[in-house]
Each structure stands twice: as structure tokens, then as C-alpha cells.
């Protein structure tokens, strides 16, 4: 059986009832844990107003987002792809961390004071964990505030919070605006490398690309050494992240899941907390934002 089938198999009613919203049991495990790995996905950022671009509803204008998030799409039409990512950057930069982001940052600070460790491994690219105050964050799929030079002799990776990132993109990209018929932007006017002036691309792991080896190593180390795994706002179906929590559960590590689903994604998970993460997670961690 393919591993993804196992991830999607719902727990029995008895198992779901036993695991459902056991805050006291979770707190006992949490208090005893020394090394905590937190896996986060689109669900946690959705509560900050970040659209979920994956799935049946993941359209931008008339394009499926998956069709734009590829090296082939960027090579064929960098102007169109940059309009899409300018729109995403604008949303992310104007969004605010929610109570779930803040709770994780507060608990990481608590861990640091108590000699414990907490590592966030996120599939999100919006940077909201860091803006909430989290420091130990592994970004699996890159970050919207970073760009990478397309010049094979340069490949400089830079942080860029400019909005718009270049003047030619001002007023472009919003699917609600009636500007679909504007002419394509010339490559020379698109975002360029600060070092060599070549075209840059969003620093995002696109479909068909491999995750950065160093990033993957850091994520795997966090999972392999944790004694508690917390899953927040992710359906656990996107690889390679989908294998992280089940692998922790396989070696006997408690896994606590926080998302909108009524049932656990895997019957081996120890705890399941359905509902908005901004409500369930702060309560479970015993922290409140100020």
C-alpha cells in the first residue's frame, strides 16, 4: 500500500473519541518533553487571511496556481509569474500573525528559558512565524520575502521586502482588478539581482524542484530527535512533509494534531484537537499573547 493511503485513513470512532481534545493529557506530555518539533501548514496562515492556493479552489485569475509555480512557467512567461507572486507577496506582507503564530513564539521563548528546544518546520512561505517572534524556523518551501538570481554564475539569494518589488509591478497582479489585458512586462523591468543585475525569481520551491538539502537535513534532524511532535494546520498529504509526523509516531513519539478536521489524519497520532488553531493551540500550550 502506498504510504499516502495510510496518511489519509481515518481513525475509528472509538479512537477519535478517546483522542479528541484531551487538553489535560496533552499538557502532561508537553511538560515532560524536552525537544519539540512543530509542523505547520496552510491552515495556520489561513486564519491570518492567507489564501490556500493548493487544491480545487486554488485559482489566480483564470490560472491554476500549480501551473504558475513551475520552472517551465517562469521560463515561458516570467512577467505573468511575477505578477502572481507580487500578488502573493502583497497579501503576506499585509497579513498579521494570528493567535496560533503568537502562541508558538511565546512557547518557544518559554522553552529557551527552561532549557528545552522547539523547532518549527513549516510548509508556509509567508514569514508569519518569524514576524510573530519565532526564531527557530525551518522553511521547507522557501520564502516570499526572498529572491534568487537566475544567473547560473551568481545564484545570489537576497531578502527583499519592497512592495512593489519593482516599479513595473505596481498595480499588477490583483485578480479583483480589471487589468488582465495589460501588456507583458519586459524582462529588463522585472526584479533584478542586486549583484549582477540579472533576472531574479521568487525563492520558492516550485513543483518539479527538489527541496534544499540543508533545509531538508535540518527538518529531518528536528523530527528524528524530538520527543513530541505537534502538527498544526496541515492535512499531512504533501510530501516530503507528510512523512514526518507518521515517522515520529512509528518510533513511539506522541503526535498532537491541530486542524479543522473532525478526525485524526492517522490513527497512530496520540492527540487530536479540531477547530481553529488560533483557539485550540494557545489553550493547549498554556500561553496567551499580550
pLDDT band (50, 70, 90) for residue 64: confident
**∠165-167-168 over CA atoms, to 5°?**
105
Start-to-end CA span in the chain (Å): 47
Residue 225's pLDDT is what?
97
Is 233 annotated as contributing to ligand binding? yes
Residue tagged active-site, from 141, 145, 198, 272: 141
pLDDT exceeds 70 at position 7: no
Question: Can you tell me the mean pLDDT for 191-202?
Answer: 98
Question: Can you tell me the mean pLDDT for 80-91?
Answer: 96
Q: Where are the domains of the chain?
A: 1-50+97-141+211-290, 52-94+142-204
pLDDT band (50, 70, 90) for residue 15: very low
Residue 9's pLDDT is what?
32
Dump pLDDT digits (tens) for 111-144: 999 999 999 999 999 999 999 999 999 999 999 9
Is 23 annotated as contributing to ligand binding? no
pLDDT exceeds 80 at position 18: no
Helix (H, G, I), strand (E, B) or coil at 11: coil
Residue 263's pLDDT is what?
74
| Residue found by looking up cell 544567473 in the block | 151
Range 52-94+142-204: architecture per CATH:
2-Layer Sandwich (3.30)
Residue 55's pLDDT is what?
54
pLDDT exceeds 50 at position 17: no
pLDDT exceeds 60 at position 1: no
- The overall average pLDDT reported for the chain is 89
pLDDT exceeds 60 at position 246: yes
CB atoms within 10 A of CB 45: 29
Residue 237's pLDDT is what?
60
Is 235 annotated as contributing to ligand binding? yes
Residue 54's pLDDT is what?
63
Please check whether the domain covering 1-50+97-141+211-290 is classified as CATH 3.40.50.1220. yes
Question: Can you tell me the mean pLDDT for 84-105?
Answer: 97
Helix (H) or strand (E) holding 148: strand 142-149
Residue 141 among the catalytic residues: yes
Which cell numbers in the block locate residue 170? 505596481
Which cell numbers in the block locate residue 52? 490556500
Is 123 annotated as contributing to ligand binding? yes
Is 49 annotated as contributing to ligand binding? no
pLDDT band (50, 70, 90) for residue 265: confident
Q: Across the chain, which distance is largest between two alpha carbons, in Å? A: 61
How far CA 244 is from CA of 3, 122, 219, in Å, comes to 12, 12, 9
Name the pTM for this structure: 0.90
Question: Can you tell me the mean pLDDT for 244-261?
Answer: 94
pLDDT band (50, 70, 90) for residue 289: low
Amino acid at each position: 500500500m502506498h504510504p499516502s493511503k495510510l496518511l489519509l485513513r481515518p481513525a475509528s470512532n472509538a479512537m477519535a473519541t478517546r483522542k479528541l481534545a484531551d487538553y489535560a493529557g496533552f499538557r502532561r506530555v508537553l511538560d515532560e518533553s524536552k525537544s519539540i518539533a512543530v509542523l505547520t501548514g496552510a491552515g495556520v496562515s489561513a486564519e491570518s487571511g492567507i489564501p490556500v492556493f493548493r487544491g480545487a479552489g486554488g485559482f489566480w485569475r483564470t490560472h491554476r496556481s500549480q501551473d504558475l509555480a513551475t520552472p517551465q512557467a517562469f521560463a515561458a512567461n516570467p512577467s505573468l509569474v511575477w505578477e502572481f507572486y507580487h500578488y502573493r507577496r502583497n497579501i503576506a506582507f499585509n497579513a498579521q500573525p494570528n493567535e496560533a503564530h503568537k502562541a508558538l513564539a511565546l512557547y518557544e521563548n518559554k522553552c529557551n528559558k527552561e532549557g528545552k528546544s522547539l523547532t518549527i518546520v513549516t510548509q508556509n512561505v509567508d514569514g508569519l512565524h518569524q514576524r510573530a517572534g519565532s526564531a527557530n524556523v525551518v522553511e521547507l518551501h522557501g520564502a516570499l520575502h526572498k529572491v534568487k538570481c537566475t544567473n547560473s554564475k551568481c545564484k545570489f539569494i537576497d531578502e527583499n521586502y519592497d512592495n512593489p518589488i519593482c516599479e513595473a509591478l505596481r498595480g499588477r497582479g490583483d485578480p479583483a482588478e480589471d487589468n488582465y489585458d495589460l501588456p507583458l512586462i519586459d524582462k529588463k523591468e522585472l526584479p533584478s539581482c542586486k549583484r549582477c543585475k540579472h533576472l531574479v525569481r521568487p525563492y520558492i520551491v516550485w513543483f518539479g524542484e527538489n527541496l534544499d538539502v540543508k533545509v531538508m537535513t535540518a527538518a529531518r534532524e528536528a523530527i528524528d530527535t524530538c520527543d513530541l511532535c505537534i502538527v498544526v494546520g496541515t492535512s499531512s498529504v504533501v510530501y516530503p512533509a507528510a512523512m514526518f509526523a507518521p515517522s515520529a509516531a512509528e518510533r513511539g513519539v506522541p503526535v498532537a494534531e491541530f486542524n479543522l478536521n473532525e478526525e485524526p489524519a492517522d490513527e497512530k497520532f496520540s492527540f487530536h484537537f479540531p477547530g481553529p488553531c488560533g483557539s485550540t493551540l494557545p489553550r493547549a500550550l498554556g500561553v496567551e499573547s499580550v
